[in-house]
């Protein structure tokens, strides 16, 4: 509990974990240009094969960054070290060998297939490593062993969310390559739809699994989560515009046709962030010990101020005093980032 002197003071500082997470975030904008550079300069520098060098060096950069950035938040044991080395090593080997999953012939097909394989294996390796390091923080968020590094469940979830970036890019292009090979020459707009559908299914499953336990599920939150998820799923049909209006229905339809699902994903992320955001005043109130404002119904957030019994007049939720205190403390502890 090193940094818990004064909650008010604490709020004005970016904490150590958040700063480390941003360093990992920096991998997103630099990965693609570095991939290109590594391929371009592998010939003159190493005389080596371009694709293998590009994919392997990006994988190495990603794994080294993750381990360097998070090492002090991992309670290292022989098992965790071996697991980490094994997963990263396997993904690195996959990238360096660049053996396509199926035979490819066309121009650039091998690049697309091998690179998407690398993105998928890197994403899976990172998710695996996160589970090896912090599965206890995810599945037993309270009751942290004081000898364990102070990793919070929210930060584990944010790190998992970052790992979705390579994973989803890889899933999209891997599906694209598969439809190219086995699709019997279907229209490229249909290839895009299939790729978007598979990626959206992976994303929705992962996103809901990552955050599900962090959300107080009210009836309205459940309903709106369904609605937004359905809209995201429907948006994968956007490339149909390109299929039915092949000679261009104006720039707007072109943009929607090509990028509609990506825009929908952006909207979905913002929507779920706003929809799932925990009763912020409650967390602030717990942090500052403002007892009056803590008294809200955990189920429907209705104010319980001035009541003489722990029964919510709005939704009928009722508990014992110790359960209520425990619940409040637990939410405060879990919601640190």
Q: Binding residues for Zn ion, per CB under 5 A?
A: 297, 299-300, 302, 312, 314-315, 317
Residue position matching structure tokens 């997963």: 87
Shortest spacing between CB 313 and Zn ion, in angstroms: 8
**Smaller CB distance to Zn ion: residue 279 or 288?**
279
Judge whether 302 and 315 are in contact, CB under 8 Å: yes
Q: In 3D, which of 203, 191, 165, 174 has the Cα closest to residue 258? A: 191
- The least CB distance from residue 104 to Zn ion, in Å, is 58
What is the longest distance spanned by two Cα atoms in the chain? 79
171: tokens are 């899933």
The answer to whether 175 and 261 are in contact (CB under 8 A) is: no
When the beta carbons of 326 and 337 are compared against Zn ion, the nearer one is 326
311: DSSP letter:
B
For Zn ion, the closer of residues 81 and 307 by Cβ is 307
Distance in angstroms (rounded) separating the CA atoms of residues 275 and 163? 23
Minimum CB–partner distance for residue 290 and Zn ion (Å): 20
* 3-state class (DSSP) for residue 81: helix
Q: Could you give the CA distance from residue 238 to residue 188 in angstroms, rounded to a whole number?
A: 13
Closest distance to Zn ion from the beta carbon of 203 (Å): 32
Comparing CB distances to Zn ion, the nearer of 203 and 324 is 324
- Tell the smallest beta-carbon distance from residue 301 to Zn ion (Å): 7
Please say which residue, 224 or 302, places its beta carbon nearer to Zn ion: 302
- In this complex, which beta carbon is closest to Zn ion, that of residue 214 or of residue 303? 303
Minimum Å distance from CB 283 to Zn ion? 18
Nearest to 17 by CA among 131, 147, 157, 111: 157
Q: Token digits for 38?
A: 């590594």
Q: How far is the CB of 36 from Zn ion (least distance, A)?
A: 55
68 CB contacts (<8 Å, ≥6 apart)? none
Task: Give the span between the Cα atoms of 146 and 90, in whole angstroms.
Answer: 33
Is 221 or 336 the residue whose CB approaches Zn ion more closely? Answer: 221
Query: Which token pair is 290?
Result: 């403002």
């Amino acid at each position: 509990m090193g940094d818990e002197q004064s909650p008010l003071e604490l709020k004005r500082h970016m904490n150590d974990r958040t700063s480390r997470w941003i360093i990992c975030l920096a991998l997103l904008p630099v990965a693609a240009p570095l991939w290109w550079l590594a391929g371009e300069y592998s010939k003159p520098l190493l005389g080596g094969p371009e694709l293998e060098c590009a994919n392997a060096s990006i994988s190495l950069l990603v794994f080294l960054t993750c381990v360097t950035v998070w090492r002090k938040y991992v309670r290292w044991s022989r098992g965790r070290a071996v697991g980490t080395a094994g997963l990263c090593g396997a993904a690195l080997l996959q990238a360096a060998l660049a053996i396509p999953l199926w035979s490819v012939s066309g121009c650039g097909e091998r690049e697309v297939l091998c690179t998407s394989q690398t993105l998928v294996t890197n994403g899976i390796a990172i998710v695996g490593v996160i589970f090896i390091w912090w599965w206890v923080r995810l599945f037993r968020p309270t009751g942290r062993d004081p000898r364990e590094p102070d990793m919070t469940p929210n930060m584990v979830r944010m790190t998992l969310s970052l790992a979705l970036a390579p994973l989803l890019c890889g899933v999209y292009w891997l599906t694209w390559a598969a439809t190219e090979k086995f699709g019997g020459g279907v229209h490229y707009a249909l290839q895009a739809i299939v790729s978007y559908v598979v990626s959206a299914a992976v994303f929705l499953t992962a996103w809901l699994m990552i955050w599900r336990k962090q959300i107080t599920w009210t009836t309205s939150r459940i309903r709106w989560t369904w609605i937004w998820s359905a809209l995201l799923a429907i948006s994968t049909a956007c490339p149909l515009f390109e299929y039915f209006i092949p000679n261009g229905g104006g720039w707007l339809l072109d943009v929607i046709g090509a990028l509609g699902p990506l825009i929908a994903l952006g909207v979905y992320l913002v929507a779920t962030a706003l929809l799932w955001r925990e009763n912020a005043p409650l967390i602030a109130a717990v942090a500052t010990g403002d007892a009056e404002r803590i008294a809200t119904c955990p189920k429907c957030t209705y104010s319980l101020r001035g009541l003489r019994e722990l029964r919510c007049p709005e939704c009928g939720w009722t508990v014992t005093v110790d359960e209520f205190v425990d619940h409040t403390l637990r939410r405060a502890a879990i919601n640190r980032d």
